[in-house]
Amino acid sequence: MVMRSQYIVESLSDSTIYMSYYTVAHLLQGGSLYGDQGGPLGITADQITDEVSQLKRSSFQQWYPVDVRSSGKDLTPNHLAFCIYIHAALFEEKYWPRAMRANEHLMSGGQNMFKRTGNFSTLREALDKFGADATRLTLADAGDNMTDTNVDDATVSAFVLRFFAAIQWAFEMKTVRAEGTLRSGEWNSHALAFEAEMDDLNRKTNTFYKDCLKHGYYEYQSARDWYRDSTLPQNGGEGMHVDLVFKFNALWPDVGEDTNKVDRVMLLPRLAYMRGVLSYLRSTDAAVVKKNKEQGKDYHARSEQTTIRSIFVAAKYPEWKYSAMSVLKVAFDEETQTTDVEKLKKTLTERGKLADKRVMPFIAMMKRKIKSANNASSLSFILPYSEIEALRKIPGYIKTSMRLKDVAILSAK
């Protein structure tokens, strides 16, 4: 049709089906992008006969449709929309695009990358400048959603430094292992928790780049840092176990049958509790320091490690939390993992708990815990671990990180 002078094809329509030409381009152009040489058919445009057209039709039918049409999100209302419209107008349904994908923009220096402005670099240039690993992580950090991502030298350089630090640590651990100073033998509770967390993070990685980077890189290193710091001899620990150090250095732990006969359901919630308590202590301490500073008091008072702190651990929930959890149990459907909000409010009203301003925030927090755990075990009145015993595993770490002279973990009976 485009060879006939009585027809005019406007540019937007033409630009949305040009991928169909790719199914015959190899026959006509022989791999050249510029049309300066003939293809295997050895013909020019004025030599296209019905027989040649039939050959092109066969090639089109073999290779079409496209599996996915990808373009920038700014072209959704025009190019991508017209791509669907024009295909539907000209072709049978079996030749319509199988999928359409709109992607976000990469930005450089806060500006969209464009060929016309020259504010971009090719993939080859990025690889030559930063290396494959740092480039991969930078692109993965851009994520999978429609949010524009700013990429600059500082961002990529940060990944380069992270890799350098990781490599340095790996070599350091090899040296330490050769010297025989890493612990071996039986695994303690810290070691079991670290292995369980590595396996859990590995399971959480999926096909979404941002999640892979979060669970398989950042949180993976945070887990290592916690294990390393909590087992330091100066924090009252026994040191890291050699097997776990080099399981971590392999980056991707084996996920299969558990090698230790330990209830893994207990380890990760206990680990989260220990970190949560330490985070709470740090934030509370920072708030006190800030308040003292604003009031002109000596906010460096604890720099000499003169403070002794007692941490009281309750053996059970207070009565109002028991009541709130009981109501949530009534309204929660374990099969669908959902909460009947109307039933929740009705039961709270009947029990005279709706007016208590502490109840709804607590219930909201418990619902988040259930969603995070993907089951209703969080509603159990009996924890799968002892909170006081968990904290008694890390008094040295609490003391060091909080700059305390001493810390006591006590029962609040």
pLDDT tens by residue, 380-395 = 666 667 888 888 888 8
Q: How far is CA 256 from CA 93, 202, 247, 259, 306, in A?
A: 45, 11, 14, 9, 48
User: Of residues 152 and 26, which shows the higher confidence score?
Assistant: 26
Q: Where does the pLDDT of residue 299 fall: very low under 50, low under 70, confident under 90, or very high at 90 and above? A: low
- Indicate if 276 and 407 belong to the same structural domain: yes
Residue range 133-154: average pLDDT? 77
- Indicate if 190 and 93 belong to the same structural domain: no
pLDDT tens digits, one per residue of 158-201: 887 787 788 778 888 888 888 888 888 888 888 989 998 988 88
The confidence score (pLDDT) of residue 282 equals 85
Asked if residue 317 belongs to a domain, the reply is yes
The confidence score (pLDDT) of residue 260 equals 43
Q: Of 103, 122, 137, at which residue does a domain stop?
A: 103
Q: Of 249, 279, 296, at which residue does a domain stop?
A: 249
**CA-to-CA distance for 408 and 390, rounded, in angstroms?**
13
- Indicate if 282 and 406 belong to the same structural domain: yes
pLDDT at 207 over 80: no
- Indicate if 98 and 174 belong to the same structural domain: no
Q: Where does the pLDDT of residue 148 fall: very low under 50, low under 70, confident under 90, or very high at 90 and above? A: confident
pLDDT at 409 over 50: yes
The confidence score (pLDDT) of residue 300 equals 53
The confidence score (pLDDT) of residue 64 equals 92
Asked if residue 17 belongs to a domain, the reply is yes
- Indicate if 307 and 401 belong to the same structural domain: yes
Q: Of 103, 138, 165, at which residue does a domain stop?
A: 103
Residue range 328-350: average pLDDT? 81
- Indicate if 169 and 230 belong to the same structural domain: yes
Residue range 112-132: average pLDDT? 77
Asked if residue 120 belongs to a domain, the reply is no
Residue range 314-329: average pLDDT? 81
Asked if residue 168 belongs to a domain, the reply is yes
Q: Where does the pLDDT of residue 298 fall: very low under 50, low under 70, confident under 90, or very high at 90 and above? A: low
pLDDT tens digits, one per residue of 80-105: 888 898 899 889 999 999 998 887 77
Asked if residue 309 belongs to a domain, the reply is yes
Asked if residue 142 belongs to a domain, the reply is no
Nearest to 185 by CA among 112, 242, 110, 265: 242
Q: What is the DSSP letter of 232?
A: -
339 phi and psi angles, rounded to 5 deg: -115, 130
- Indicate if 277 and 404 belong to the same structural domain: yes
pLDDT at 135 over 90: no
The confidence score (pLDDT) of residue 258 equals 40
Top mean-pLDDT range of 16-25, 89-98, 132-141, 142-151: 89-98
Task: Give the residue numbers spanning the domain of 283.
Answer: 270-411
Q: How many CB atoms neighbour CB 61 within 10 A?
A: 11
The confidence score (pLDDT) of residue 262 equals 40
- Indicate if 163 and 205 belong to the same structural domain: yes
Residue range 361-376: average pLDDT? 73
- Indicate if 200 and 322 belong to the same structural domain: no
Residues 123, 112: contact at Cβ < 8 Å? no
- Indicate if 190 and 276 belong to the same structural domain: no
Q: Where does the pLDDT of residue 224 fall: very low under 50, low under 70, confident under 90, or very high at 90 and above? A: very high
Report the percent of the chain where pLDDT is more than 90: 8
Asked if residue 110 belongs to a domain, the reply is no
User: Of residues 251 and 90, which shows the higher confidence score?
Assistant: 90
Element (H, E) at 192: helix 189-204
**CA-to-CA distance for 95 and 83, rounded, in angstroms?**
12
Asked if residue 259 belongs to a domain, the reply is no
Residue 411's Cβ-count burial label (10 Å; 0-12, 13-18, 19+) is exposed
Q: How many domains does the chain have?
A: 3
pLDDT tens digits, one per residue of 254-287: 333 343 434 455 667 778 888 888 888 888 888 8
- Indicate if 180 and 303 belong to the same structural domain: no
Secondary structure (3-state) at 212? helix
Residue range 137-142: average pLDDT? 80
Residue range 15-39: average pLDDT? 79
- Indicate if 93 and 226 belong to the same structural domain: no
Nearest to 230 by CA among 176, 166, 277, 286: 277
